[in-house]
Amino acid sequence: MGSDQRVVRCARVSFGRDEVIDAPRDKKLIRYLYAHRHASPFEHNIIAFSATKEDWLEILREINNPTVQIYYSGGYVWLNLRNLINAYELMPKELLEAVRDRFPTVWSVVESGGEISDEELEHILYTTDEEFVRKRKETSSGWVGLVDSLELGTDMDYYTFVVECPLFVARQWHRHRFGSYNEISRRYTSYGVRFYIPGVLRKQAKSNKQASLDEAIEEPFNSRIISMIVKVVDTSMELYESMTQVGVAKELARGILPQFMKTKYYWTVPRIALDNFITLRTHEGAQKEIREFAQAIKSMVGYKGTDKKNKL
Ligand SMILES: Cc1cc2nc3c(=O)[nH]c(=O)nc-3n(C[C@H](O)[C@H](O)[C@H](O)COP(=O)(O)OP(=O)(O)OC[C@H]3O[C@@H](n4cnc5c(N)ncnc54)[C@H](O)[C@@H]3O)c2cc1C
């Protein structure tokens, strides 16, 4: 699952330019990422090949690097492109041929040790994603798009999503560690800053200190406070812009932006962790905003119950 461009998308989301395709620059970016060991964008490409459990165990026996993560599920070995690059000498030859076809630029860069010239790069094929997102759902606080999936009916089927949501939703989401993330960096860019302004202000629940009721606070407080939120957001945005205009570093200036600010990231996740996310985050105990995202994801790719294997 994936393409050369998937690496570039997941790298360029850092500066909010993940939708741009520019093959000559993209190829150089892949070389740069590889040469400077900016490795996480490579994790959003997933490789599965059919093998026996013995084949898999043999690979694990040979690996002399505890960071390489290779899984076995449903008669397939599963790993991402970063892990494959780190363990490619242990992979079957036919698999490497298929990888070379699927990721011609990445593979040429890897084979050259990141030393490939601009001229050589020009002649290498560059593969792109067929579309930006296959499905997209809006929620009250943002949106989620299904970028790609590799479904073989196993616990380790993989999905890549692109998400735009408020910071506090992202903080909850990123606690789901089994999977890979690449996110916009407000150290790099002041581009496209957007905010979630809630339509209604839900009441604090009394029974559960973490939760809210599906009920707005009384008027006129609801409308008045929403207008005040808009004012505070506008004022903080003005201060942010004045700071960046006089040369304050973006990494510091961003401190003034409220948690209603939206962020954007790619999330590549195996089915068993995705089902776990759906179970935990569609539950009524989860915050409404993240619940809407979990429901949107469930409606796009379903829930298969694989997380029930976990006792804890
Ligand atoms: C309603 C709600 C309230 C929450 N409140 C808080 C809070 O107040 N503070 C807070 O910090 N977090 C909070 N969380 C986050 C929660 O503790 C989990 O971190 C989060 O839900 C991710 O779940 P997970 O670890 O199962 O998922 P993942 O990290 O995606 O892991 C998937 C699965 O992999 C396995 N796994 C992954 N990493 C490990 C590991 N290191 N060791 C063993 N097994 C592992 C487990 O089987 C796990 O279920 C809350 C979550 C919910 C849903």
The order of strands in the sheet holding 180-183 is 135-139, 142-150, 158-166, 262-270, 180-183
**pLDDT tens digits, 268-287:** 999 999 999 999 999 999 99
From the CB of residue 21, how many other CB atoms can be counted at a distance below 10 Å? Answer: 15
- Which residue, among 243, 236, 225, has the nearest Cα to 258 in the 3D structure? 236
Per the structure block, which two tokens stand in for 176? 């789901």
**pLDDT tens digits, 256-270:** 999 999 999 999 999
Please work out, in degrees rounded to the nearest 5, the angle formed at the alpha carbon of residue 305 by the alpha carbons of 299 and 306.
Answer: 120
From the CB of residue 227, how many other CB atoms can be counted at a distance below 10 Å? Answer: 10
**pLDDT tens digits, 106-165:** 999 999 999 999 999 999 999 999 999 999 999 999 999 999 999 999 999 999 999 999
Residue 170 burial (CB < 10 Å; 0-12/13-18/19+)? buried
Distance of CA 283 from the midpoint of ligand 1 (Å): 14
Per the structure block, which two tokens stand in for 120? 């050589």
With a 6 Å cutoff on the Cβ, whether 108 touches ligand 1 is no
Distance of CA 280 from the midpoint of ligand 1 (Å): 9
- Which residue, among 17, 276, 266, 277, has the nearest Cα to 164 in the 3D structure? 266
With a 6 Å cutoff on the Cβ, whether 24 touches ligand 1 is no
Single-letter amino acid, residue 245? Q
Structural domains present in the chain: 4-122 (no CATH), 131-312 (3.30.1360.170)
With a 6 Å cutoff on the Cβ, whether 178 touches ligand 1 is yes
CA 216 – CA 226 distance, rounded (Å): 11
CA 163 – CA 156 distance, rounded (Å): 21
pLDDT-based confidence at 9, cuts 50/70/90? very high
